[in-house]
Structure 1
Amino acid sequence: MNKAEVRKQALLQRKGLSPEEASVFNSKLLAQFKNLDFDAIKTLHIFLPIAEKKEPDTFLLIDWLSLAHPEIKIIVPRADFDTFLMSNYVYEGKKRLEKNSYNILEPQKTNLHEGAVDMVIIPLLGFDLKGYRVGYGKGFYDRFLNGIFTVKVGLNFFAPVDVINDVHENDIALDLCITPDKIYFF
């Protein structure tokens, strides 16, 4: 499948999820996430979910991390849609978030993080068995991940497609992807 086909299929699958199904999938994603090894993780970047697009509820992961691993610094992105670059800010709670013009929650008036990032939780619409992902097509995460050494973790409600056949040379593969039923390692 090509990226456009994967994107279309994934959006239809998400759209078809009932609130109950999404809740079950989110609980299972959290259960799988808890199985990861966080011993070497000092700073973790995590995307904030767009509820209207039925993205995985990363607030469940953030809340669990805050309790189980309070020593981990959680950072969240703010996107610049003029440059297609992201900056990272220390997560200081939901009260410090506001929706931007694209309906994406972003940190407001928090501290900029410019250091190392040990793990990145990456949004995606679909992925393949080699770890390549399909997002919304703007390339924010490929630019962000280019040149940094970090553990790259995808979150998805659905199983992978076999192959995304139009992978670009700038596309960066995941190290693993968490689904409700399995963690795929690449």
Structure 2
Amino acid sequence: MEKANLRRSLLKIRQMLPKSEWQEKSDRICTHLKSSSLFQEAKTVLAYFSFRQEPDLKPLFNDFSRRWGFPRCVDDSLAWHLWQPGDELETNKFGILEPLANAPILDPSQVDLILVPSVACDVRGYRLGYGAGFYDRLLTLPEWSNKLTIGVVFEFTYLVEIPIDQWDRSLTGVCTETGVKIINKFLGEQLNNV
């Protein structure tokens, strides 16, 4: 199945999840992330605000032991801004919440972990995004290409294989409501040697 059809099909299924099931699965994802060594060792984490029934990560954001960064769409790229609960947000042209433009910007060197929103991920660590290429472009930039990344999806969108293009990059791991799966062994080994 081509990317566009697969994306459309999976988004439709995700939108049909009952609110209570969506929240329960989201809460379990947060629990697994909190207990993951990738997350526990990260001091600065990039995340996202849930949109169109993506897994809801809000329970994580009250953890003041780490710094949180969230994206702002700037033309065809993402700028990462510091954010903490209570800071003001605005809605961008896609309908997604983002920090205000005057919020402090995070330098890539400060970032330890990126929680990547995804429509689907596969067992090889490849993700199916929303089609605009924001994360694809980000993760190929030299200053971002070696960051630890976890795709966040519901288990029904953790697939054996998704179609990939030459620019797609495998993530370090994937988190669903059943747990965190480390995919990229090299980065996982690097983490264990820290």
Please give the range of the TM-score, normalised by the shorter of the 2 chains. Answer: 0.7 to 0.9
Partner in structure 1 of residue 45 of structure 2: 44
**For residues 92 and 31 of structure 1, do their structure 2 counterparts lie closer, same or farther at Cα, with a shift above 3 Å needed?**
closer
Query: Which of the numbers 173, 177, 181 marks the counterpart of 1:176?
Result: 173
Cα distance in structure 1, aligned partners of 2:53 and 2:40: 30
**For residues 175 and 11 of structure 1, do their structure 2 counterparts lie closer, same or farther at Cα, with a shift above 3 Å needed?**
same
Cα distance in structure 1, aligned partners of 2:177 and 2:26: 7
Q: Which AA in structure 1 matches 2:162? A: I
Q: CA RMSD in A?
A: 1.6
> Match of 2:166, SS?
coil
Partner in structure 1 of residue 132 of structure 2: 138
Cα distance in structure 1, aligned partners of 2:86 and 2:73: 17
Unaligned residue ranges in structure 2 (runs of 5+): 184-194
Is this contact kept in 2: 1:119–1:152, CA < 8 A? yes
> Match of 1:22, SS?
helix
Deviation at 1:39, TM superposition (A): 5.0
Cα distance in structure 2, aligned partners of 1:2 and 1:185: 26
Q: Which runs of 4+ in 1 moved over 3 A?
A: none
> Match of 2:30, SS?
helix
Aligned-residue identity in percent? 27
Matches within 5 A, 1:1-80: 1-37=1-37, 38=39, 40-50=41-51, 53-63=52-62, 65-66=63-64, 70=65, 72-80=66-74
**TM-score, normalised on structure 2?**
0.84
Unaligned residue ranges in structure 1 (runs of 5+): none
Q: Which AA in structure 2 matches 1:162? A: V
Cα distance in structure 1, aligned partners of 2:85 and 2:103: 10
Give the number of the structure with larger relative contact order, counting CA–CA contacts within 8 Å between residues 6 or more apart: 1
For this pair of structures, how many residues does the alignment match? 176
Partner in structure 1 of residue 162 of structure 2: 164
**TM-score, normalised on structure 1?**
0.87
Is this contact kept in 2: 1:32–1:182, CA < 8 A? yes
Is this contact kept in 2: 1:6–1:126, CA < 8 A? no
Partner in structure 1 of residue 151 of structure 2: 154
